[in-house]
Chains A and B, each alone.
Chain A
Amino acid sequence: MGVELVQERWKGKLYALTIGREPYQVVAGGDSTLPFLDLDGGSYTRPVSALTVFDRRPENWPDTLTGAWGDVLDNPVQWARKCVELGADAVALKLVSAHPEQGDRSPQECAATVKAVAEAVDQPLIVLGCAVNEKDAAVLPVVSEALNGYNCLIGQATSENYKTVVAGCLAHGHSVIATSPLDINLAKQLNILMTDMNLPPDRIAMDLSIGPLGYGIEYAYSIIERKRTGALLGDRMLAMPVICLVGEEAWKVKEAQRADDLEWGADEPRGILWEAVTAVALAQAGASIFVFYHPEALRQFNTQIDALMGK
């Protein structure tokens, strides 16, 4: 008995977002089918994986994380170099200390840090502000200018501050992370607003505000999967690749943080898997860029992706 192939005919395609400079550029998106599935024809792009660097020593990190990085935690430049050594496709620099309650560093100070990191590594740079709308609106344009020519991915731009963030990126040749609160319609709306400012659609990565494993990942999973199928069915304003801040989310939860525990097992494999499982699940849903905290989570993720890509 011959089994018939049941194929979907996808007519849409994700935009291909390119960041960084030759020869270290990476491409996210561009896919024309479901993730890792050859059944329907078309192609899928290998997800991009990045490691996070903070602009100052992180607070309240569990031992599993601090132990993995050792003494580079005080030095963003060395930390970034180590990310590359550990196999990250890109470095994601988070400007925690711009936060009004966590240092309130000025835009100029932030620009100096990002410049130093950009000069230290060849790999593409993702820059994340402090997630306070007004402050990011002040900081990110100055950072964009300092990074002129580096072709970075910069965010998070929200419905509150996208105008200044997008203007800065447009002026200096960067792409933008569009952040929306776990709602596919609001996400689409933000894409429309940004492209209305003449930002090319292939210079947007969508951040849908994922929840981590155990704490809302299912909402993110289904929104990302819906977005992917929507894009493949031809909706251009859903066709931007998705970026997931898996490290930031996964390490918040107690299952990842708690020390060795009789019922829950040893902390290290548990925390690493919490992050890796969050990422693998969302890759299956169709996200394109993954920003990790723990290098072993990144490695495990990439081993899994090797298998799914058929390598």
Chain B
Amino acid sequence: MALNGLAIYKLLPKTNCKDCGQATCLAFAMQMAAGKASLDACPHASDEAKETLGAASEPAIALVEIGTGEKVVKLGNETVLFRHDKRFVHPTAIGILVSDRLDDAAVEARVQSINGLFFDRLGETYGVDLVAVRNDSSDAARFVEVVRKVAELSPLTPALLSEDPVALRGALEVVAGRKPLVYGAHPGNYEALTALAKEFAVPLGVRVDGLDELAELAEKIAKLGHKQLLLDSGARDVKRVLADQTLIRRLAIMKRFRPFGYPTICFADNRDGAQRVLDSVVYAAKYAGVLIIDRVDPAEILPLITWRLNVYTDPQKPIAIEAKVYEVGTPGRDAPVFLTTNFSLTYYCVMGDIESARTPAYILPVDTDGTSVLTAWAAGKVTPEKIKTFLETSGIGDRVDHRRLIIPGGLAVMTAKLKEITGWDILVGPRESSVISAFLRDNWQ
């Protein structure tokens, strides 16, 4: 139930004691109404307030956890429809399918491929999250066997895709300790599956075709006492998925509609491989909690994982990269040295264009609080003195034999002053990094 700030305020002690961290009870009420504070923060709330506000103080979308320890994947707790309003909190978890119809050798090969779907990017590693075993064989014993094998071979958290309580119980007895996702409950099996999910304390996927039916079933399962749920409206074509995902998210956030207050699960099972990836791009952008895809080719998974990473970065803050010496290729002692700013986009453009120029080089992104060259210059965040200090502390002087610094075209006015205080020769580079290749050809020998 959505309550406005004033309705919440009426139920608070109105003493303005500040114990909640807010200046007044009214301020606290407004925070709660916006979904930014929980009633737990007020130690003086009456039982009546707790009762009435319980629902309002719960997050619009429940936090659901799959996996344990280092491999835990958190989903839910989202608060917005558009990422320009606020950060999307928990990245879509990507799971790769393994069918239990494969023979042992094929299972092993597939799991090895899945285990390899990890990519380094700027010193961090990004990869897939789940290995999803699907009970295509309809044979409970075979399912358990494959789950056991997969769990032995992969450090990734399993997702158990079966509708058969017997198969699922068998699998859970093997891997419950890794807190796998169980999928899924439908109107015919939900009582048995809910009991299993409760017994083993694992999240449960719920699938019914149609949103009305989905709301009904999610509500029934919640009444049975299980609230670690993932929703699937049964849609499989991208247009229908987009529509359902949008409505589920709107109902959860704008209407606080409890039956849809859970993350979702989507399946990219387009018949065409490349289209599966493109469907997945839409799902990751539009609210999928878990995404299951039947692809293991890194050429297809790398773009998808990169997209997921991009969508779930914080849109409010310009990403600043660390101000230090970066190498493009394997630069030698005569390699060019480029100065730029530490706004990640500026840096990446320069880096990409130097890479395409195929000239190994050093890049020095001076700290401008993550702003671009022109913004930084206009705001006085890049000065000759600052560049001098950065040149000295970065240690670049020990790594090259020359003393020639290429500065962005936008900083040309600093040339004389920079030369004077640093003792380096200053080369004015292009204003646009896209012509770095031509610039190097004509100016760097």
Contacts and interface: CB of A to CB of B under 8 A. Distances in A.
Interface of A: 1-6, 36-39, 59-60, 99, 101-102, 131, 181-182, 211, 213-219, 221-223, 225-226, 229, 252-255, 257, 263-270, 272-274, 276-277, 280-281, 284-285, 300-301, 303-304, 307-310
29 contacts: A3-B211, A6-B251, A36-B239, A37-B242, A59-B437, A101-B442, A211-B348, A213-B306, A213-B310, A221-B310, A222-B315, A254-B352, A257-B356, A264-B298, A265-B299, A269-B299, A270-B299, A272-B274, A277-B277, A277-B278, A277-B303, A277-B304, A284-B282, A303-B275, A304-B279, A307-B237, A307-B275, A308-B238, A308-B282
Of B116, B257, B277, B437, most buried by chain A (CB within 10 Å of CB) is B277
Nearest to A266: B299
Nearest to B270: A307
A276 B278 contact: yes
A37 to B, nearest CB: 6
Contact of B285 (A219, A265, A281): A281
A4 B251 CA distance: 8
B112 to A, nearest CB: 13
A6 B238 contact: no
Interface in B29-73: none
Contacts of B439: 101
A131 B353 contact: no
Given A101-B435, A215-B352, A284 B259 contact: no
B239 A310 contact: yes
B238 A1 contact: no
Contacts of A182: 345
Of B212, B286, B300, B374, most buried by chain A (CB within 10 Å of CB) is B300
A1 to B, nearest CB: 5
B237 to A, nearest CB: 6
B434 interface: yes
Contacts of A255: 302-303, 306
Contacts of A223: 84
A59 B116 CA distance: 34
Contacts of B121: 214
A9 B357 CA distance: 49
B298 A37 contact: no
Contacts of A266: 297, 299
Nearest to B260: A3
A182 B345 CA distance: 10
B311 A304 contact: no
B215 interface: yes
A213 B302 CA distance: 11
Of B82, B247, B310, most buried by chain A (CB within 10 Å of CB) is B310
Contact of A280 (B243, B257, B259, B281): B281
A36 B82 CA distance: 16
Given A131-B432, A211-B348, A265-B302, 6 more contacts: A60-B358, A225-B83, A252-B352, A284-B286, A285-B285, A300-B275
Contacts of B315: 218-219, 222
Nearest to B274: A300
B242 A36 contact: yes
B303 A274 contact: yes
Interface in B405-445: 432, 434-435, 437-439, 442
The 5 closest A-B pairs by CB, nearest first: A265-B299, A265-B298, A270-B299, A6-B250, A216-B345
B246 A214 contact: no
A149 to B, nearest CB: 32
A218 B284 CA distance: 13
A132 B216 CA distance: 60
A219 B212 contact: no
A179 B439 CA distance: 23
A284 B274 CA distance: 17
B353 A263 contact: no
Given A254-B355, A264-B302, A265-B299, A304 B238 contact: yes
B152 to A, nearest CB: 24
A71 B212 CA distance: 57
A285 B438 CA distance: 34
Of A36, A39, A229, A307, most buried by chain B (CB within 10 Å of CB) is A307
B215 A3 contact: yes
A37 B243 CA distance: 6
Contact of B278 (A216, A252, A300): A300
Contacts of A59: 437
B154 interface: no
Given A213-B307, A229-B82, A273 B242 contact: no
A181 B179 CA distance: 46
Contacts of B352: 215, 252-254
B106 interface: no
A219 B242 contact: no
Contact of A60 (B303, B372, B437): B437
A225 B300 contact: no
B348 A265 contact: no
Contacts of B432: 131
A253 B350 CA distance: 11
A172 to B, nearest CB: 28
A255 B311 CA distance: 18
Given A211-B345, A269-B297, A277-B303, A6 B254 contact: yes
Contact of B84 (A181, A226, A276): A226
A292 to B, nearest CB: 14
A308 B238 CA distance: 6
B22 interface: no
Nearest to A258: B355
A4 B348 contact: no
B10 to A, nearest CB: 27
A285 B345 CA distance: 19
